Amino acid sequence: MSTALVTDLTIFVLALLVGIEVIGKVPATLHTPLMSAANSIHGIVLAGALLIGVTAHSFVGYLLAFVAAFFAAANVVGGYVVTGRMLKMFRRKAQPASSEVSKP
């Protein structure tokens, strides 16, 4: 087993433990935004798609890179925007009907 792999595995295990610790403290009220935030975080695969896509030199390669970039970018942008939209609705006090009229 190479040193690089051991380093990678160490990082993985430690990140897993940090994740369990941090996420265990999120209240049930915020579980939907949490999941949607987690969703945008796994959109980091966009970086992976970019790194690997640049080695493409064939039609199949370009196609796969295109689809991967599309999927990952949709994941990142959509995830962050929708999480922000949800979190904006959590208020400490009820507000009088604002400009953002909720649909019935």
Angle between helices 31-41 and 59-88 (to 10 degrees): 150
Q: Report the candidate in 40, 89, 47, 95 with the shortest Cα–Cα distance to residue 68.
A: 47
Interface with other proteins, residue 2, by CB under 8 A: yes
Residue 55 CB, shortest distance to other proteins, in Å, is: 6
CB of 40 to other proteins, least distance (A): 7
With CB under 8 A as the rule, give the number of residues binding other proteins: 89
- Residues numbered 59-78 forming contacts with other proteins, rule: CB under 8 A: 60-62, 64-78
Quick check: 16 and 32 in contact, CB under 8 A? no
Residue 85 beta carbon to other proteins: minimum distance, rounded to whole angstroms: 7
Taking CB under 8 A as the rule, does residue 4 contact other proteins? yes
Query: Are 3 and 14 spatial neighbours (Cβ–Cβ below 8 Å)?
Result: no
| 99 contributes a contact to other proteins by CB under 8 A | no
93 part of the interface to other proteins, by CB under 8 A:
yes
Residue 97: burial class (beta carbons within 10 Å; 0-12, 13-18, 19+) = exposed
- Told to check if 5 binds other proteins by CB under 8 A, we report yes
Q: By CB under 8 A, what part of segment 27-56 binds other proteins?
A: 27-56
Alpha-carbon distance of 14 to 46, in angstroms, equals 23
